Structure 1
Amino acid sequence: MDLAVERFKFPLRLLLSAFMIAAGCLHFLNPAPFVKIVPAALPAPALLVYISGFFEILGGIGLLLPPLCQPASWGLIALFIAVFPANINMAVNDIVLEGIPHIPWLYWLRLPLQAVLIAWAWWVGQPASETKD
């Protein structure tokens, strides 16, 4: 990989880490909005929210620790895939969340954002390239 691009990996890893830790903490501090978007077919929505929050925090911390960065990135990728049904549920059923502007097209825009998050987690978890000039 181009070393010019590689220099952005560390700050973007820190940013994703902070984002995941903050999002995970929100699952514990204010679980109601997350519970509301869990598809009805899934059991124990509150428990699923707490579990996903725990793994968001764990993944975010793992990104900060070089020996755990790559496994943490794969764990976050799995988590992004696992929570995707909740994002679909929110968009399809136009679920309104208190404190979040009700703009339905933004709910739909959130769906491809999961692919961006997956790519981001994958990229920051890759070992630094060792391009030789």
Structure 2
Amino acid sequence: MFRSKRSPLLLAGLLATAGVAHFAAPRPFDAIVPRSLPGSPRTWTYASGVAELALAAGLALPRTRRVTARATAAFFVGVFPANLKMAVDWRDRPAPQRTAALARLPLQVPLVLWARGIAKDADGPA
């Protein structure tokens, strides 16, 4: 699959935007933290925001891109339970919101594949 040289920076931008959103508007993120996780949902919201910002920084730097892209793929797999919780919690909401929550589930697949593709294409050390 063809990937532009900007692809890592585009994914970094997506992660940075999401990371900032975790701090600028944390309440929606708090609501999708699985109840089974220990501690406060806000702590998990902030921790995932920090992780997204760190991943964005790592993807932006060619030297750390390969390992960070692999970590990014794992991160996308790791946050899937939050997206699943959102889909379940929003099953009785109006159709546009319910559709958005359900659409997030299969969108995790291309995100994982995007990150894996960046890792494969990275010129940096393994």
TM-score category, normalised to shorter length = 0.7 to 0.9
Measured after TM superposition, the shift of residue 40 of structure 1 is 1.7
Which of the pair has more CA radius of gyration?
A: 1
Note if contact 2:66-2:122 (Cα within 8 Å) is conserved in structure 1.
no
CA RMSD between the two structures: 2.2
- TM-score, length-normalised on structure 2? 0.86
Measured after TM superposition, the shift of residue 42 of structure 1 is 1.6
Number of paired residues?
121
Matches within 5 A, 1:2-17: 5-6=2-3, 8=4, 10-17=5-12
The residue aligned with 2:102 is: 108
**Whole-angstrom CA distance in 1 between matches of 2:103 and 2:30:** 20
Measured after TM superposition, the shift of residue 109 of structure 1 is 1.3
Residue deviations 1:68-116 (CA, integer Å, cap 9, x gap): 001111111121111111100010121799xxx9421221111010111
- Which deviates more from structure 2 when the two are superposed, residues 50-59 or residues 119-128? 119-128
Identical residues among aligned pairs (%): 36
Q: 2:50 aligns with which of 38, 45, 54?
A: 54
Q: Which amino acid in structure 2 is aligned with residue 62 of structure 1?
A: G
Moved segments of 4+, more than 2 Å: none
Q: Give secondary structure in 2 for the equivalent of 1:126.
A: helix
Unaligned runs of 5+ in 1: none
